Structure formats: C-alpha cells, structure tokens
Amino acid sequence: MASTAPSHTPAAGSAAPPRVLTVAGSDSGGGAGIQADLKAMLALGVHGMSVITAVTAQNSLGVQGYWELPAEAVRAQFRSVVDDIGVQAVKTGMLASVELVATVSELLAGVDAPVVVDPVGVSKHGDALLAAEAVATVRELLLPVATVATPNLHEVAQLTGVVVEEEKDLPAAAEAVLALGPRWALIKGGHLAGDAVDLLAGADGERHWYRAPRHDNRHTHGTGCTLASAVAAELAKGRTVEEAVGAAKEYVTGAIAAGFALGAGIGPVDHAWRTRG
C-alpha cells in the first residue's frame, strides 16, 4: 500500500526563509556563540548560516581555552556562503584577534545587508575573548560598518572609556558608541539594578527605550549572542531597527525567564521557550 506523506511536509520548491549569517566563535557547551546564534535564528523563523572564527573549550563554569581560525579560513567560509546563497542580515560575535577583526570588517564593507555587531570582549564568566590589542581595531574598522552595535556595559567601557553606573548614564554611553561610526547603538543595561532596560540610539538623534522585568534566574549564559542574533533575524524579515530590537528584547526576556541549570555553573537561556509545552 502506498504511503502518504505527512501533511506537514513542505511542498517541493517552497520559498527559502530569510537568510542570516553569523560570524562568531563556537561554544562547545552550546549556550553562546555560533550555537546560540543558530538556535535563536531557527526559533525566529530564519535560515541561519555560519562563519566560525574560533573554537572554544567552554562549559557552564567558564572558557578553558580558545583557538582562532586562520584569516583565510574565515574569508573562505564567508565568500562561500555570501557568493552563492546570499544574506539578508549578518551578525558578528567573537572575532578574537586584530587580524580577524580586520578581515571581517573588510568583508562586511562589501555586503549590502544590515550588519549587527556584538563587540564581544569577555565571556559571561569574565574570560577574555578578544585580544587587548584588537580593541582599537574594533573601534576603527568594525564599528563603522555596523548597522547596529550591541555592547554591554563592560564593552562600552572597553571601547569608549564611559562607565555606566545607573540608567541616567546610558545616553552618554550611546553617544560615545555612536561617535565610533555605527548607524545605531543598542546599549544593554542588563547589569544595572532594577528592571532590565536597554537604550537604542540612532545617529540622527532618535531614541527608543526598552524595559522588561528582571527575572530571578542566574542561568543567563548566551544572552548577548542571542539578543544580537534575534535583532539580525528580525531585520532580515524586513522590520525596522526599532521594531527588530523590540521583538528581539521580548524574545530574549522569555528565554532568560526559561533559562535552565546545566552543569555546575551558569546555565543557558532557553532558545526554544516558545515551543515548550
């Protein structure tokens, strides 16, 4: 008897979903980096693709080591994807070294799609993921090609010298980041006391504030990667920057609330929170 294909099988020739490329490091524990990016992209209905810049040995307790890939390997991955498949948005994360920051900046300058730059400096556990000498290259080459830069407060201080201690300091932080060249700066205030508040600032003076209740959950590994990937996914779907950030904030807030214990340290956010029963 002939079998019948299940009703959920997509029709042959279905249109591809929007395509988003992440350029970042691999997290062997699956909570951050490339792994978090691809999980978030799948959850938000886009096709995720990757350029791996570094491999980390990482778990819930921290980063035990990392090994960056050669620039030619990063360049080859990028050209392979972009030249054949194309992209509707790009997100960058861990770039590790001066050479990789410079290489990726050059590649992004030739892409006609929104670029979300998460200027990763340290891990959730405080482990360095960017060489100290590469910070200047991020300032000079990477941020000027960003549509949206998404630094946390540590990264704001690292890049600009501006220290944010309370919510009223966020506009000054945004201005300092915008001065480095991105079209938009999303300053993440998650490390402040009180509600989780973020400020999106545009180079034209536009300002948007995003607030969410703070959840009593220490399992927040991967929040920065996830937020930046969610913004890129929403931009790829055609949302404006302010709409994309709002949708991404709502998704990440739910993922934090559903974060779960894993190993002996800090567990990950739950990228699949919307689909769990």
pLDDT in tens, 218-271: 999 999 999 999 999 999 999 999 999 999 999 999 999 999 999 999 999 999
CA pair distance 144, 132, nearest whole angstrom: 19
Tokens standing for 151? 């630094």
pLDDT in tens, 96-133: 999 999 999 999 999 999 999 999 987 777 778 888 89
Count other Cβ atoms within 10 Å, centred on residue 98: 17
**pLDDT above 70: residue 12:** no
261-275 as b/e: b if 16+ CB within 10 A: ebeebbbbbbbebee
Instruction: Read off the pTM.
Output: 0.94
**pLDDT above 80: residue 3:** no
152-179 as b/e: b if 16+ CB within 10 A: bbebbbbbbebebeebebbeebbbbbbe
In terms of Cβ atoms closer than 10 Å to its own Cβ (0-12, 13-18, 19+), residue 206 is exposed
Check residue 211 and report its DSSP letter: E
Among the listed residues 223, 237, 249, 253, the single catalytic one is: 223
Among the listed residues 31, 48, 222, 267, the single catalytic one is: 222
57 SS3 class: strand
Listed in sequence order, the DSSP H helices in the chain are: 33-43, 71-84, 98-108, 135-137, 153-160, 170-178, 223-236, 241-257
Among the listed residues 124, 225, 226, 237, the single catalytic one is: 225
- For the question of residue 126 being annotated catalytic, the response is no
What one-character-per-residue DSSP string does 22-50 give? EEEEEETTSSSHHHHHHHHHHHTT-EEEE
- For the question of residue 238 being annotated catalytic, the response is no
- For the question of residue 224 being annotated catalytic, the response is yes
pLDDT, greater one: 7 or 37: 37
Average pLDDT over the chain, rounded to whole? Answer: 93
What one-character-per-residue DSSP string does 92-116 give? E---BSHHHHHHHHHHHTT--S-EE
Q: What is the pLDDT of residue 104?
A: 98
**pLDDT above 90: residue 8:** no
Among the listed residues 39, 91, 124, 188, the single catalytic one is: 188
pLDDT in tens, 24-50: 999 999 999 999 999 999 999 999 999
- For the question of residue 223 being annotated catalytic, the response is yes
- For the question of residue 4 being annotated catalytic, the response is no
Selection from 30, 212, 254, 175 nearest residue 38 by Cα: 30
Among the listed residues 22, 56, 92, 220, the single catalytic one is: 220
Pair type for strands 62-68 and 47-59? antiparallel
